[in-house]
Amino acid sequence: QKEVEQDPGPLSVPEGAIVSLNCTYSNSAFQYFMWYRQYSRKGPELLMYTYSSGNKEDGRFTAQVDKSSKYISLFIRDSQPSDSATYLCAMSLSGGYQKVTFGTGTKLQVIP
Amino acid sequence: DTAVSQTPKYLVTQMGNDKSIKCEQNLGHDTMYWYKQDSKKFLKIMFSYNNKELIINETVPNRFSPKSPDKAHLNLHINSLELGDSAVYFCAISDPGWGYTFGSGTRLTVV
């Protein structure tokens, strides 16, 4: 079993839909949680960075962390075709120079 | 001006060859990483250097050798390339409290 599990998709939604992307993890010691977006043939770029449980909002993006369930989510409101990409969840034990463990990514397609 | 730049972007080479990938960062961060992304998009850490010192060395064949000549550079040398080494290799830097900034990747194909 991988430390971080993520449904690979693909997930296809119509433009304007609310998208929910999820990850589960097994290591309860993870404290820092991230979401990265990766366009085709590009490097991942950081979207959201949260510490411990709770919600964080940034524009159309909301990240949720439920440490009791070992479950994190990324919600995208009013999805746009430009949101079409692979979304990778990631987590680490500390915010310092510890290694980050990634999920395998969910491919999202937003259809105009 | 790209924060993390990798060269080359594409590398096609024959089995058994030795090749190097270079990474340069211009943000002045102390920590640099090499990650490997396989065909299923799974990103796995290989190495991490902090201020030219190796701090993370995952289970990677010793055919892979990182070298950090200075804080701004982290190179990856691969000896005796094998078919299974075909992947995208990403260099990254980290900013505590903000996660990674990745380069655009080097797509290695071993034939």
What's the rounded Cα separation, in Å, for the pair A7 and B17? 36
Stretch A31-55: mean pLDDT:
91
Task: Inspect the interface and report whether the beta carbons of A43 and B96 lie closer than 8 Å.
Answer: no
DSSP letters spanning B31-90? EEEEEEE-TT--EEEEEEEETTEEEEE-S--TTEEEEEEETTEEEEEE-S--GGG-EEEE
All residues of chain B having their beta carbon less than 8 Å from the beta carbon of residue A8 are 40-41
Q: What per-residue confidence (pLDDT) applies to A40? A: 92
Q: Are A54 and A73 in contact, with CB atoms under 8 Å apart?
A: no
All residues of chain A having their beta carbon less than 8 Å from the beta carbon of residue B107 are 41
Residue pLDDT, tens place only, B29-39: 888 999 999 98
Q: What per-residue confidence (pLDDT) applies to B1? A: 67
Q: What per-residue confidence (pLDDT) applies to A11? A: 95
Residue pLDDT, tens place only, A22-31: 999 999 999 9
Low-confidence ranges of chain B (pLDDT < 50): none
Nearest by CB to residue A46, choosing from B44, B96, B99, is: B99
